[in-house]
Structure 1
Amino acid sequence: MCNAKACMLVYGEGEGVPEVFPSHAKAVAILTQYKNMPEGKFKKTVNQEGFLSQHFDKLHAKGQKFQGVCEDNETRVLLHKAMSNLSSLDGLNVEDLTNVGRKLEVVL
């Protein structure tokens, strides 16, 4: 935050009025300046809910990616077992057999 103007409001437990830093007058000036800026000036400005929502979406996407990688690795293990011993396919359910078939198509 080089050269950025900032203020902070700290609410103490059980206190109705916050402490304002650097001062009440400077905080009001900073907030007024921010409110008077054109709307397009801060395209990336988000509130706390928006920030958390964006962060959650990114984490959710990463989780789905890792889940896909994990499923892919499990299928590779099944494929390896199948290639070394065809009788190992006997106990697999339909979903596992389908995954092995898809992996075989990719490999071949």
Structure 2
Amino acid sequence: MMARKKVKLAYITNDGARKACFRKRKKGLLKKVSELSTLCDVNACAIIYGPYDTEPEVWPSPDGVQRVLAQFKSMPETEQSKKMFDQVTYLSQRIGKAQEQVKNQTKENREKDVKHVMFQSLSGKSLQGLMLMDLQDLTWTIDQYLEQVHSRMKNFKEALKNENQEQGATAAADRPMDNVTP
């Protein structure tokens, strides 16, 4: 089965396509609510107000929705709002995630800039004009590269040593045994 490509979440300007998409998504959402209720044995309901319907669509039935809402309203208010969040909370979470992404991208850009300065300095460009923080980051980056080089050299030496030992053992096994007496 092929994976679907990621859908760009944007308003669908074509009326027919938007209406068809709404119908399909609504059907899929109601199916998911039904599956969740059945598979996990939870009380669930759905109320969907659509621009193309005069009445809201409810699942499983108007009475079923009333039962779930009554059960929800009978809970203490602290329990009701425990896992609930509104648009402000949702947007706050999204902003937090976006800020984290910006922070990570800024760090990645900084690392690339420092690597660029390092490689330029290897080709003879002067380091004058760099601030102390830039020089500290450059030192750290160089140390990281040196650790990688030392690690690769160590691994290469060990692999070469193992290969030489294997060749020595193979050569000894291949030598004819001249002095063996039966």
The residue number in structure 1 matching 2:125 is 86
SS at match of 1:9: strand
- The answer for unaligned runs of 5 or more in structure 2 is 1-35, 144-182
CA distance in 2 between counterparts of 1:75 and 1:27 reads 59
Alignment length (residue pairs): 102
Which residue in the other structure is 1:4 paired with?
Answer: 42
Which secondary structure does the structure 2 equivalent of 1:5 belong to? coil
CA-CA distance at 1:70 after TM superposition: 1.7
* DSSP 3-state at the match of 2:55: coil
Identical columns (%): 27
Q: Which has the higher contact order (CA 8 A, sep 6+)?
A: 1
Query: TM-score, normalising length from structure 2?
Result: 0.46
Scaled by the length of structure 1, the TM-score of the pair is 0.69
Matched, 1:53 2:53: no
Q: Distance in 2 between matches of 1:78 and 1:4?
A: 59
Please, which moves more after superposition, 21-30 or 41-50? Answer: 41-50
Query: 1:49 & 1:17 partners in 2: Cα distance?
Result: 28
> 5+ residue gaps in structure 1?
none
1:86 partner SS: coil
Contact kept? 1:79, 1:100, Cα under 8 Å? no
Q: Does 1:17 align with 2:51?
A: no
Over alpha carbons, which structure has the higher Rg? Answer: 2
Give the alignment's Cα RMSD to 1 decimal.
2.7
* Counterparts in 2 of 1:60 and 1:46: CA distance versus 1, 3 Å: same
Report the CA distance shift for 1:14/1:29 in structure 2 as closer, same or farther (over 3 A).
Answer: same
Q: Does 1:70 align with 2:104?
A: no
The CA deviation string for residues 49-108 of structure 1, in whole angstroms up to 9 with x for no partner, is 422431331232122112211222211211221243134x57xxx6xx235323135357
* Residue among 108, 112, 135 paired with 1:101: 135
* 8 Å CA contact 2:59, 2:65 repeated in 1: yes
